[in-house]
């Protein structure tokens, strides 16, 4: 293990417990040579191929669940209640996993998925993201309703204060893309970029009410978006319909009201993100997430001002040391003092060790703070060996 270079492997609790905690954690430490386990206590729907799981090589995951016993007293400010996974089959389930990680000498960090949750959006559609037509999107929570905000804050407090992770990977604490969460989609006709962008805006009544309170006519803007979308959804796209979503269009569309709407929603969602970040820091954990940019803020409603709370930034692999050094230096200038870059790798896509060894070597020589490896239960044993080989060679 290279000095001051963190090797973090993502995983799910069922992969550790199905295999046996001693066996799975020994494999993470001894074969993969990782020193941090990024474990999810709150996750979204997926179907998993688990090649070395001894009981279920194929696992149909739940629609969105937590993998610990919640302290329900913490959720008194919200009507939303966390859905506990069937995997949690005994009292102290998650505590036992965390204790085993710490006992093995590995760092425990928490990978928290926030607004991407089919179960919660379906159970509480009034708190889901709504499109301009008023339809709730049953895969995504909205960041606007007070109940949703209080739930996300309580969830964070519950995890950080009880289980004390060294870091928290914040995922989907934002507005999500229009297609995010579609299951077996039947989308045959072309949908242009501008139509898709507007269909992805969040018109939850709480979002409309917030913007209206700020002096913006939310209901009238929502009506204007509907009137713009209806004919373009119904007809085949014209060449002019295929124009891009760019800054010029955003500033001019709807006489500037689209830009104003995005500004207000960004203000609201970034405030929630900042609130969650402070809870994480107050709990003694570092924050890991992706960098917010001037381009991404139009899709996520997260302002680049949130970057100052980041201690660890997830990026894709660099192609060269020269590119990596420039990228690391630029990112470090935008985040919390002492923050680091974590290069995300995908060993599951590799059939030999050399490409992963190259990615990790470039990351180390570029000044990155470490690499993340996705994902323990999804990898074959040979691929766990690729991780170990890459870490040893980077030393």
Taking the C-alpha atoms of residue 295 and residue 350, their distance in angstroms, rounded to an integer, is: 31
In this prediction, residue 274 carries a pLDDT of 98
Give me the mean pLDDT over the 323-349 stretch: 97
Q: What is the largest CA-CA distance in the chain?
A: 62
Taking the C-alpha atoms of residue 7 and residue 372, their distance in angstroms, rounded to an integer, is: 6
In this prediction, residue 235 carries a pLDDT of 96
Instruction: Read off the pTM.
Output: 0.97
In this prediction, residue 2 carries a pLDDT of 42
Q: Above 60 in pLDDT, residue 370?
A: yes
Taking the C-alpha atoms of residue 9 and residue 384, their distance in angstroms, rounded to an integer, is: 10
Coil, helix or strand at residue 184: coil
Pairing relationship of beta strands 136-141 and 128-130 according to DSSP bridges = antiparallel
**C-alpha Rg value of the chain to the nearest Å:** 22
In this prediction, residue 395 has a pLDDT band, given cuts at 50, 70 and 90, of confident
Instruction: Name the nearest CA neighbour of 260 among 305, 309, 226, 210.
Output: 210
Give me the mean pLDDT over the 232-258 stretch: 97
CA distances from 30 to 83, 106, 361, 388, 392 (A): 34, 11, 20, 8, 11
Coil, helix or strand at residue 157: helix
Q: Above 60 in pLDDT, residue 353?
A: yes
Phi, psi of 291 (to 5 degrees): -75, 135
In this prediction, residue 1 carries a pLDDT of 42
Give me the mean pLDDT over the 244-266 stretch: 98
Phi, psi of 213 (to 5 degrees): -65, -25
In this prediction, residue 3 carries a pLDDT of 55
In this prediction, residue 4 carries a pLDDT of 86
Give me the mean pLDDT over the 213-228 stretch: 98
pLDDT in tens, 1-58: 445 899 999 999 999 999 999 999 999 999 999 999 999 999 999 999 999 999 999 9
Give me the mean pLDDT over the 356-368 stretch: 98
Give me the mean pLDDT over the 247-274 stretch: 98
Give me the mean pLDDT over the 181-193 stretch: 95
User: Which residues in the chain belong to E strands, given as ranges?
Assistant: 6-11, 36-44, 47-49, 58-60, 64-66, 107-113, 128-130, 136-141, 167-171, 286-289, 312-315, 340-345, 370-373
Give me the mean pLDDT over the 342-357 stretch: 98
User: Is 145 exposed, middle or buried, given 0-12, 13-18 or 19+ CB atoms closer than 10 A?
Assistant: buried
pLDDT in tens, 269-307: 999 999 999 999 999 999 999 999 999 999 999 999 999
């Amino acid at each position: 293990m290279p000095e001051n270079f963190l090797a973090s492997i993502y995983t799910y609790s069922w992969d550790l417990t199905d295999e046996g905690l001693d066996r799975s954690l020994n494999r993470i430490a001894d074969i993969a040579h990782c020193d941090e386990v990024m474990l999810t206590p709150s996750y979204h729907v997926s179907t998993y191929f688990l090649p070395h799981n001894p009981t279920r090589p194929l696992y149909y995951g739940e629609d969105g669940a937590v993998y610990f016993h919640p302290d329900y007293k913490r959720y008194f400010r919200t009507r939303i209640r966390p859905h506990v996974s069937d995997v949690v089959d005994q009292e102290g389930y998650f505590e036992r996993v965390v204790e085993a990680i710490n006992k093995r000498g590995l760092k425990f960090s928490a990978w928290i998925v926030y607004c991407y949750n089919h179960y919660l959006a379906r159970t509480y559609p009034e708190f889901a993201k709504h499109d301009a037509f008023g339809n709730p999107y049953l895969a995504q929570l909205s960041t606007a309703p007070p109940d949703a905000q209080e739930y996300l804050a309580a969830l964070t407090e519950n995890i950080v204060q009880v289980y004390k992770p060294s870091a928290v990977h914040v995922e989907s604490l934002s507005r999500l893309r229009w297609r995010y969460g579609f299951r077996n989609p039947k989308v045959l006709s072309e949908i242009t970029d501008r139509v898709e962008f507007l269909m992805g805006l969040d018109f939850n009544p709480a979002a409309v009410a917030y913007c209206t309170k700020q002096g913006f006519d939310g209901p009238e803007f929502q009506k204007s978006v509907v009137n713009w979308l209806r004919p373009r959804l119904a007809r085949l796209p014209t060449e002019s319909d295929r124009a891009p979503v760019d800054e010029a269009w955003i500033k001019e569309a709807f006489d500037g009201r689209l830009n104003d709407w995005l500004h207000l929603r960004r203000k609201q969602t970034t405030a929630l993100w900042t609130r969650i970040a402070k809870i994480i820091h107050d709990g003694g954990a570092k924050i890991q997430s992706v960098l917010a940019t001037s381009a991404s803020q139009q899709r996520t409603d997260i302002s680049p001002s949130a970057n100052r709370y980041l201690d660890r930034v997830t990026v894709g692999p660099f192609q060269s040391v020269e590119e990596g050094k420039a990228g690391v230096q630029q990112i470090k200038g935008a985040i919390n003092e002492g923050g680091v870059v974590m290069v995300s790798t995908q060993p599951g896509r590799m059939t030999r060790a050399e490409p992963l060894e190259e990615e990790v070597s470039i990351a180390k020589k570029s000044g990155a703070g470490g690499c993340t490896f996705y994902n323990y239960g999804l990898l074959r044993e040979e691929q766990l060996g690729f991780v170990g080989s890459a870490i040893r060679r980077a030393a």
